[in-house]
């Protein structure tokens, strides 16, 4: 596999065929897996440290990165191979003297499942990211999530599981819950299916909500609010559905961008008050917009992957 193709993949510019080639190549053996991880380590190092260096300095940097790249664990390399077989997912890894962190990021329109070292299973919705250690150490099992994920946490009373987000920490012992944390949209939401959860505001540690199954906690006006959950609306993405309920038209279009993997430019802002229901994601963005046109007045066109709404 050429370095040029691998670097295109790391930049998110590889074609679907190139991604399939990389996935098949990674499954061919440990040598390919190590070469992939070494190439990624070199690429990340060049991006972080090599931007303005002269050619001779960049060459020396590559040699140093190759040396350190060989010291990455085999577990991280194997994880990269497993992730790449599910197209549309990006994998990243960093290493320190005491622990190794990895991150999984789904692309718009894609989902991914991952099992953590403690047996916890995480399903990432499209356009979401999780950062987690290869092995949990210490008193807590802590991960960080951006976007949306469903977590089925493996019970361990002595080591509470904590999900960190921009808005709050969600602390559990063993449970199943959904968390949404989209800082750009100022949206935070946690729904509890089973077990127990404690949600603590990131900005005010005294703002704490204890949840029981069927509860939903959201962030409103800078405070955590607890209410009854609407499972059909909030968890439809697990069945390939997107909810039409949103606070405004722009918020709904942000959701469409994430799940359909398109860019939407809009000058329209029609009222969607009282809008409800779900649309199957597999039907595509054109179908979703046509359905909306039955109840909302707007026009649209799709030009080279960009949706223009007026």
Q: Which two tokens stand for residue 289?
A: 């917009």
Chain segment 177-195, per-residue pLDDT in tens: 999 998 888 889 999 999 9
- Maximum Cα–Cα distance across the chain: 63
Residues of the chain with pLDDT under 50: 46-88, 94-98
pLDDT at 188: 94
**Cα–Cα distance measured from residue 75 to residue 223, given in angstroms and rounded to the nearest whole number:** 40
For residue 251, the model assigns a pLDDT of 86
Supply the pLDDT for residue 24.
74
CA distance 42 to 36: 10
Q: Cα–Cα distance between 10 and 22 in angstroms, integer?
A: 11
Which of 114, 201, 199, 112 has the alpha carbon at shortest distance from 152?
A: 114
Written as six digits, the tokens of 272 are 């969607």
How many Cβ atoms from other residues are within 10 Å of residue 116's Cβ?
21
pTM: 0.62
pLDDT tens per residue, range 131-167: 988 888 888 999 999 999 999 998 888 899 999 999 9
């Amino acid at each position: 596999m050429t370095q040029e193709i691998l670097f295109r993949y790391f930049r998110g510019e590889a074609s679907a065929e190139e991604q399939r080639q990389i996935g098949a190549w990674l499954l061919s053996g440990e040598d390919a897996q190590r070469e992939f991880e070494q190439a990624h380590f070199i690429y990340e190092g060049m991006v972080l440290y090599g931007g303005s260096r002269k050619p001779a300095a960049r060459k020396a940097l590559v040699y140093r990165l190759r040396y350190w790249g060989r010291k990455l664990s085999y577990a991280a390399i194997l994880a990269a191979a497993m992730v790449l077989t599910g197209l549309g997912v990006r994998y990243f890894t960093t290493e320190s003297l005491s622990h190794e962190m990895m991150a999984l990021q789904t692309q718009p329109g894609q989902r991914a499942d991952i099992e953590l070292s403690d047996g916890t299973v995480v399903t990432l919705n499209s356009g979401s990211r999780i950062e987690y250690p290869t092995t949990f150490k210490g008193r807590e099992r802590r991960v960080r999530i951006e976007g949306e994920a469903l977590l089925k946490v493996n019970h361990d009373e002595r080591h509470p599981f904590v999900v960190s987000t921009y808005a709050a920490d969600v602390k559990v012992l063993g449970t199943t819950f959904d968390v949404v944390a989209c800082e750009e949209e100022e949206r935070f939401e946690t729904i509890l299916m089973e077990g127990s959860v404690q949600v603590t505001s990131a900005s005010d540690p005294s703002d704490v909500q204890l949840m029981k199954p069927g509860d939903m906690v959201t962030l409103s006006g800078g405070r955590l609010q607890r209410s009854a959950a609407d499972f059909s609306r909030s968890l439809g993405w697990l069945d390939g559905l997107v909810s039409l309920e949103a606070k405004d038209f722009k918020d709904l279009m942000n959701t469409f961008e994430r799940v359909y993997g398109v860019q939407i430019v809009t000058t329209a802002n029609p009222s969607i008050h009282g809008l409800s229901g779900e649309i199957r994601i597999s039907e595509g963005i054109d179908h979703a917009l046509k359905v909306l046109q039955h109840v909302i007045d707007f026009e649209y066109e799709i030009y080279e992957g960009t949706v223009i709404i007026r």
